[in-house]
Amino acid sequence: MHKILSLLVKLQKLDLNLDKIRSDKESFLLQVNSYEEKIKQLEKELKEKKKEPKEIKKKRREREERIEEIDILLSKHEEEKYKVKSQDEFDALDKEVAQLEKEKKEVEDIILDLMEREEIIARELPLYEKEKEEEKKRLKKNKNNSLEVIDKLIQKEEILKREREELISGLDNNILNQYEKLRKIRGGLAVTRIEKGVCEACRVKVSTSLAYEVSQGKGIIYCENCSRILYIPDN
Ligand SMILES: [Zn+2]
């Protein structure tokens, strides 16, 4: 094979490897981000959950205070009953008392519900915390694994980049530019094989005369259809 063509074939293989490494790195980075997001979300949920007992207790206190207020009003009304002068006044007072008693009953029910929830949370919170902490540990482990893979990919990338530098030092700038341009417009693939008379990249048949030229290994020959650089591997 022509010396320059053989360098281009090597360069293409190397670049495909680099492309793969970069895209792998990208997806592992996305994974790391998603683990971090999940960990943050978990911590937020845990913090919210830990606040719940306090919030319920506060609600219960408020309701208990309301009961005290109602009791004071009720005993006040009880005294007033002896001082009213008309049936209308008495009826109005009676109505007020009935309403307060109804409210008292409702507030008492709410207090009972709140107490029940307090109990449930006191029982469930430790379990919930344990479960979430374990999940967090698992996510952190996954994140670290992904970070390790990224580290290895970066090391590999560095080695290939150095190899690439060495390789392109043997190539003329014009040819290198042409190769880069082709790679850009042809989905990363600038150099391709002729396989059973067909361009392996675009699957179009290569004319016999062109295939012959390529087989002679005399220079850079392009696919008539996709303009990629063609080669036939040496046996
Ligand atoms: Zn082609």
Identify whether residues 115 and 190 lie together within a single domain.
no
Identify whether residues 114 and 82 lie together within a single domain.
yes
How does pLDDT run across 132-145, given as a tens digit for each residue? 999 999 999 999 99
Q: Are strands 191-195 and 229-231 parallel, antiparallel or unpaired?
A: parallel
pTM for the full predicted model? 0.76
Given 147, 170, 193, which residue is the final one in a domain? 170
Identify whether residues 95 and 184 lie together within a single domain.
no
Whether residue 2 lies inside any domain: the answer is no
Number of structural domains the chain divides into: 2
Identify whether residues 40 and 127 lie together within a single domain.
yes
Identify whether residues 57 and 112 lie together within a single domain.
yes
> From the first residue on, what is the mean pLDDT of each consecutive set of 10 residues in the chain (235 residues)?
91 98 98 97 94 96 97 94 90 95 98 96 94 96 98 98 96 95 97 96 96 89 96 85
For ligand 1, the distance from its centroid to the CA atom of residue 206, given in whole angstroms, is 8
For ligand 1, the distance from its centroid to the CA atom of residue 57, given in whole angstroms, is 75
- The pLDDT score that the predictor gives to residue 217 is 83
**Block residue for tokens 């390790």:** 148
Query: Which residues, at least 6 apart from 153, have a Cβ–Cβ distance to it below 8 Å?
Result: 21, 24, 25, 28
Identify whether residues 74 and 116 lie together within a single domain.
yes
Question: Distance (Å, rounded) from C-alpha 232 to C-alpha 116?
Answer: 80
List of long-range contacts for 38-47, beta carbons under 8 Å, 24+ apart: 38/139, 39/136, 39/139, 39/140, 39/143, 42/132, 42/135, 42/136, 42/139, 43/136, 45/132, 46/128, 46/129, 46/132, 46/133
Whether residue 4 lies inside any domain: the answer is no
For ligand 1, the distance from its centroid to the CA atom of residue 185, given in whole angstroms, is 13
For ligand 1, the distance from its centroid to the CA atom of residue 187, given in whole angstroms, is 13
Q: In what order do the strands lie in the sheet with 191-195?
A: 198-199, 191-195, 229-231
For ligand 1, the distance from its centroid to the CA atom of residue 199, given in whole angstroms, is 5
Identify whether residues 80 and 161 lie together within a single domain.
yes
Cβ atoms 1, 9 nearer than 8 A: yes
Cβ atoms 8, 224 nearer than 8 A: no
Residue 150 lies in domain = 23-170
For ligand 1, the distance from its centroid to the CA atom of residue 7, given in whole angstroms, is 20
For ligand 1, the distance from its centroid to the CA atom of residue 188, given in whole angstroms, is 13
For ligand 1, the distance from its centroid to the CA atom of residue 23, given in whole angstroms, is 25
Identify whether residues 156 and 102 lie together within a single domain.
yes
**Block residue for tokens 């306090």:** 54
Cβ atoms 199, 207 nearer than 8 A: no
For ligand 1, the distance from its centroid to the CA atom of residue 48, given in whole angstroms, is 60
How does pLDDT run across 43-83, given as a tens digit for each residue? 999 999 999 999 999 999 999 999 999 999 999 999 998 88
Identify whether residues 128 and 222 lie together within a single domain.
no
For ligand 1, the distance from its centroid to the CA atom of residue 95, given in whole angstroms, is 94
Whether residue 57 lies inside any domain: the answer is yes
For ligand 1, the distance from its centroid to the CA atom of residue 210, given in whole angstroms, is 12
Identify whether residues 46 and 108 lie together within a single domain.
yes
φ, ψ at 193 (rounded to 5°):
-85, 155
- The pLDDT score that the predictor gives to residue 46 is 93
Whether residue 51 lies inside any domain: the answer is yes
Q: Give the largest Cα separation in the chain, rounded.
A: 126
For ligand 1, the distance from its centroid to the CA atom of residue 223, given in whole angstroms, is 5
Given 170, 185, 220, which residue is the final one in a domain? 170
For ligand 1, the distance from its centroid to the CA atom of residue 204, given in whole angstroms, is 6
CA-CA distances (angstroms) from residue 173 to 165, 176, 213, 223?
13, 5, 24, 21
For ligand 1, the distance from its centroid to the CA atom of residue 59, given in whole angstroms, is 75
Identify whether residues 165 and 185 lie together within a single domain.
no
Measure the CA angle with vertex 140, ends 44 and 52; round to 5°. 20
Identify whether residues 35 and 108 lie together within a single domain.
yes
